[in-house]
Amino acid sequence: MQSSYDIIVVGAGHAGCEAAAAAANMGSRVLLITMNMQTIAQMSCNPAMGGIAKGQIVREIDALGGYSGIVSDRSAIQFRMLNRSKGPAMWSPRTQNDRMMFAAEWRKMLEQTPKVDFWQDTVNALLISKDGKRVEGVVTGMGLAFHSKAVVLTNGTFLNGIIHIGEKNFSGGRTGEKAAYGITEQLVQLGFESGRMKTGTPPRLDGRSIDYTKTEIQEGDAFIDKFSYLENTSPFMGEKAKKQTPCHITYTNPQVHDILKTGFEKSPMFAGRIQGLGPRYCPSIEDKINRFSERERHQLFIEPEGWDTVEIYLNGFSTSLPEEVQLKALQLIPGLEKVKMFRPGYAIEYDYFPPTQLKLTLETQLADNLYFAGQINGTTGYEEAACQGLMAGINAHLKINEKESLVLNRYEAYIGVLIDDLVNKGTDEPYRMFTSRSEYRLLLRQDNADVRLTPISHKLGLASAERLQCVEKKTANANKIIDYFKNNSIEPSEINPFLESINSSPIHQKVRYHNVLSRPNISIPDMLRYCNHLDKNISSFDKETIEQAEILMKYEGYIERENENADKLKRLEELKLRPDFNYDAVHSLSAEAREKLKKIKPQTLGQASRISGINPSDVSILMIFMGR
């Protein structure tokens, strides 16, 4: 049995799987340690990937050479592009997934990654160098010591985890799985600050006991897209394509709320037994009816767990109330009058470490070569965890090989926004990504993640030459389409019938195709139906390329403006700050600024400008002090 590795990854959730895959694909020998080999990449909560801003993250992971997009496509049972009625900056892909297939596909991909080894065990402690400044491996529950050059901790909700259902509570990291002890206590002794957070999950239901005729059906999109930029990753393609599985919608009502309120006195949240803060944007059903008492109903999504199972996930009904209260309330919901539960919902409280203790590489400031990724950093969601794991795995490999680290800027990726927010602002509640968190969201669209990130990944050795060639071809073809639209004209007789059909002013002389496209409610596919010359020259390009060309033309001015703002930030990012910078010597800085700068130790002036409590005058003072 091998006892020494380049990198050890602790935990095989979404963060751990991406970390192990990335580091191994870059050339490191990786040991992935998990408590249970049967729960690798388990979807602990809802059986879905993507959604608002999260879908952009999955596409970014794929563009960087991660596996989440491929696995999501292969295990999808439904696809939807959210926010199509809004601008392209808001479009967000989402899949409903087969829970068991998702985990099986992830395990298969990891097992086919040559440099990944597995070990089933708990990790109780880290091996730390004699000077206390560097991690050198881990010690497991079996008393085995595994040595490594770097360690990535992706412990999820397992660190001192406590599960709450009504007045009952018991230790556990997930239902049916034990909690992990020892790591928090050791890290606190080393000087780390820790805290508690809370999350929850709804009851799982027997789909055979649901009357779907009393609910609203929610079908997948007619045109099925996917996450991965690679071809042939979707189960919906080809002759054997399966029909998408629909979801359904129902609602709570005042009677449901009244029943739920009878359990409030036994609620661990209201009784104060839970100390950690829960996710603001995914509250429990009891929290919803308490905070939004004026609302008579709340929307619930009946989501299937897979192709071949009757198990149902009731999205929107997360709860930790007593199980008998949960069932009584459920049976007052339209369509669920005779529902049976497979298991009740529960809340879980666990340890996390405020992420202001990290560098932008996700390496800890206190211990060299120790990386944190996922819920240990205070985030919530598979996608947020997966992208942190990917970045931690990449940077761990680069660090031990004495190569320059990879830090994505806010204008390059939602991944960059997420990590920048965590490190510079911290979080005292589970952090979830939204498009509104990015000031460059028109640059960070789901359609161009490959254009933004695949060239970076190719240089790292993660993205294949084939991937890079696809991106280069897509960019060149989009430019050809744009060039054609800007340099060729359309006759009034060709387009006026269409313009009149949508109450748009007709044209009276030949105009550039670009001018017509810039009008609202007009798309390239619309124009192709009416313009024969355009159809001959453009229809040979694939849908994805046409869509990207259209976005670049329609939003040209806005994109240009965001690029100008990004260039200003880029100039600040180029001004490096030394780790040993003496902020006490800059007497003009405010006391708060000095305190924050010494704690977070920003790597650039751009990073310093985004730290909570640092104002523009502090940035100007630093620039003057640096001779800029």
Same domain, 335 and 219: yes
With 0-12 / 13-18 / 19 or more C-beta atoms within 10 angstroms meaning exposed / middle / buried, residue 554 is: buried
Averaged pLDDT score across all residues of the chain: 92
Same domain, 276 and 164: no
Q: What is the CATH number of the domain that holds 551?
A: 1.10.10.1800
**Are 154 and 389 contacting, i.e. CB atoms less than 8 angstroms apart?**
yes
What are the pLDDT digits (tens) for 565-616?
Answer: 999 888 888 888 888 889 998 888 888 889 889 888 998 988 988 888 888 8
Tokens coding 81: 């592009």
The neighbouring-strand residues paired with 370 are: 151
What are the pLDDT digits (tens) for 229-273?
Answer: 988 887 776 544 568 999 999 999 999 999 999 988 887 766 666
Domain assignment present for 237: yes
Which among 320, 346, 372 is the end of a domain? 346
Same domain, 127 and 244: no
Same domain, 110 and 189: yes
Domain assignment present for 568: no
Cα angle value 505/509/512 (rounded, 5°): 85
Phi, psi (5° rounding) for residue 149? -85, -25
- As a whole number, mean pLDDT of residues 216-234 equals 89
Q: What letter would DSSP give residue 231?
A: S
**Could you tell me the sign of the dihedral formed by the alpha carbons of 353, 359, 360, 361, in that order?**
negative
What are the pLDDT digits (tens) for 284-342?
Answer: 898 899 888 899 999 999 999 999 999 999 999 999 999 999 999 999 999 999 999 99
The number of domains in the chain is 4
Answer yes or no: is pLDDT of 104 > 80.
yes
Answer yes or no: is pLDDT of 90 > 80.
yes
Same domain, 49 and 117: yes
What are the pLDDT digits (tens) for 375-418?
Answer: 999 999 999 999 999 999 999 999 999 999 999 999 999 999 99
Domain assignment present for 453: no
Cα separation, 191 vs 188, in Å, equals 5
The CB density around residue 558, as the number of other CB atoms within 10 Å, is 13
Domain assignment present for 331: yes
Same domain, 34 and 173: yes
Cα separation, 157 vs 276, in Å, equals 12
**Could you tell me the sign of the dihedral formed by the alpha carbons of 420, 425, 430, 433, in that order?**
negative
Q: What is the CATH number of the domain that holds 128?
A: 3.50.50.60
- Side-chain-side CA neighbours of 217 within 13 Å: the count stands at 9
Q: What is the pLDDT of residue 197?
A: 94
Q: What is the pLDDT of residue 240?
A: 44
Cα separation, 303 vs 99, in Å, equals 11
Lowest-confidence segment of 20-34, 102-116, 426-440 by average pLDDT: 426-440
Cα separation, 166 vs 324, in Å, equals 10
Nearest to 431 by CA among 277, 274, 292, 320: 277
414: Cα separation from own chain's centroid = 9
- As a whole number, mean pLDDT of residues 369-373 equals 98
DSSP letters along 21-90, please?
A: HHHHHTT--EEEEES-GGGTT---S-SEEE-TTHHHHHHHHHHTT-SHHHHHHHTEEEEEEETTTS-TTT
Lowest-confidence segment of 188-192, 205-209, 357-361, 534-538 by average pLDDT: 534-538
The whole model's pTM is what? 0.94
Q: What is the pLDDT of residue 235?
A: 76
- As a whole number, mean pLDDT of residues 448-456 equals 97
Instruction: Note the residue count of the chain.
Output: 628
The CB density around residue 219, as the number of other CB atoms within 10 Å, is 12
Same domain, 135 and 171: yes
- As a whole number, mean pLDDT of residues 124-131 equals 95
Domain assignment present for 540: yes
Cα separation, 455 vs 471, in Å, equals 8
Q: pLDDT confidence of 361, banded at 50, 70, 90?
A: very high
- The set of residues, in sequence order, having a beta carbon less than 8 Å from that of 97 and lying 6+ positions away, is 43, 47, 48, 49, 72, 75, 76, 77, 306
Q: In which domain, by residue range, is 604 found?
A: 574-625
Q: What is the pLDDT of residue 118?
A: 98
**Are 316 and 202 contacting, i.e. CB atoms less than 8 angstroms apart?**
yes
Nearest to 456 by CA among 400, 409, 389, 386: 409
Which among 416, 435, 454 is the end of a domain? 435
Q: Which residue has the higher pLDDT, 613 or 58?
A: 58
Which amino acid is present at 554? K
The neighbouring-strand residues paired with 134 are: 368
Cα separation, 618 vs 628, in Å, equals 14
Domain assignment present for 394: yes
Domain assignment present for 180: yes
Q: What is the pLDDT of residue 376?
A: 98
54-to-103, 314, 359 alpha-carbon distances in Å: 19, 20, 23
266-to-143, 161, 270, 336, 360 alpha-carbon distances in Å: 40, 20, 8, 24, 42
**Are 438 and 417 contacting, i.e. CB atoms less than 8 angstroms apart?**
yes
Same domain, 488 and 413: no
- Name the 3-class secondary structure at 363: strand
Q: What is the CATH number of the domain that holds 247?
A: 2.40.30.260
Tokens coding 433: 């990504």
419-to-388, 390, 593 alpha-carbon distances in Å: 8, 12, 21
Cα separation, 446 vs 93, in Å, equals 8
Same domain, 239 and 380: no
- As a whole number, mean pLDDT of residues 2-30 equals 97
Cα separation, 80 vs 247, in Å, equals 11
Which among 387, 415, 435 is the end of a domain? 435
Tokens coding 240: 């054997």
Cα separation, 225 vs 220, in Å, equals 10
Same domain, 365 and 239: no
Angle between helices 449-460 and 465-487 (to 10 degrees): 150
Q: What is the pLDDT of residue 241?
A: 56
Answer yes or no: is pLDDT of 276 > 70.
no
Q: What is the pLDDT of residue 568?
A: 86
Same domain, 422 and 500: no
Phi, psi (5° rounding) for residue 195? -150, -175
Same domain, 94 and 179: yes
Cα separation, 391 vs 455, in Å, equals 16
Tokens 């990386």, residue? 371
Q: What letter would DSSP give residue 199?
A: E
Domain assignment present for 566: no
Work out the percent of the chain whose per-residue pLDDT is above 70. 97
- As a whole number, mean pLDDT of residues 75-94 equals 94
Q: What is the pLDDT of residue 277?
A: 66
Q: What is the pLDDT of residue 313?
A: 98
Q: What is the pLDDT of residue 267?
A: 77
Tokens coding 278: 């829960």
397-to-361, 402, 460, 563 alpha-carbon distances in Å: 11, 9, 10, 31
